[in-house]
Amino acid sequence: MPATSPLAPPLAPAGAGFEHVRCQVVARPSASPSVALTYGTFDLFHIGHLRLFERIKQRYDRLVVAVSTDEFNAKKGKKSVVPFGDRIAMVAACRWVDQVFAETDWGQKERDIITHGADAVVMGSDWEGRFDDLKALCEVVYLPRTEGVSSTELKAEVVAAVRSRA
């Protein structure tokens, strides 16, 4: 008869199933932290931006944010109210953000995924489907936007308010 240890569970009788065995699955630390990339202009930084960063950070260990330069925005037909240097500084100061860098063209995303070892590109749902071509390189996630707030709408409201005073 084999010796038993007071720390070991009793052996199952011959022919018994394993349904009586209780296991505890313990997550092993990953060899490397999970990394998410997100992109945006982040003009008129608001609660929607903050919540996006927070939700991404809840899912991934590291959040790397690319902030669109003023020159890239001009190519997209957009004009920021807040200059690039200020926007990237505000994003970098956010506690959920681990690293920031400049977004200068549409084609850099593939390079960024490789350079930063990204496991995912995470964007707001207003971009749904636009970055699915990146799925060959990493996971692509579209998170719901924060209802009732957007930089575009804020700018439109400010412009309308200024025009109504004139």
Q: Is 75 an annotated catalytic residue?
A: no
78, 79, 109, 135: the active-site residue: 78
75, 76, 79, 135: the active-site residue: 76
Tens of pLDDT along 103-142?
A: 999 999 999 999 999 999 999 888 899 999 999 999 999 9
Q: What is the CATH number of the domain that holds 128?
A: 3.40.50.620
- Contact at 8 Å (CB) between 103 and 69? yes
Give me the percent of the chain exceeding a pLDDT of 70. 72
Under DSSP, the state recorded for 38 is E
The reported pTM is 0.74
Tens of pLDDT along 102-112?
A: 999 999 999 99
For residue 57, give its domain range.
Answer: 35-165
Cα 81 to Cα 78, 103, 158: the distances in Å are 10, 17, 11
H-assigned helices in the chain? 47-59, 70-75, 84-93, 109-116, 151-165
Q: Is 76 an annotated catalytic residue?
A: yes
- Contact at 8 Å (CB) between 141 and 123? yes
Domain count, the chain: 1
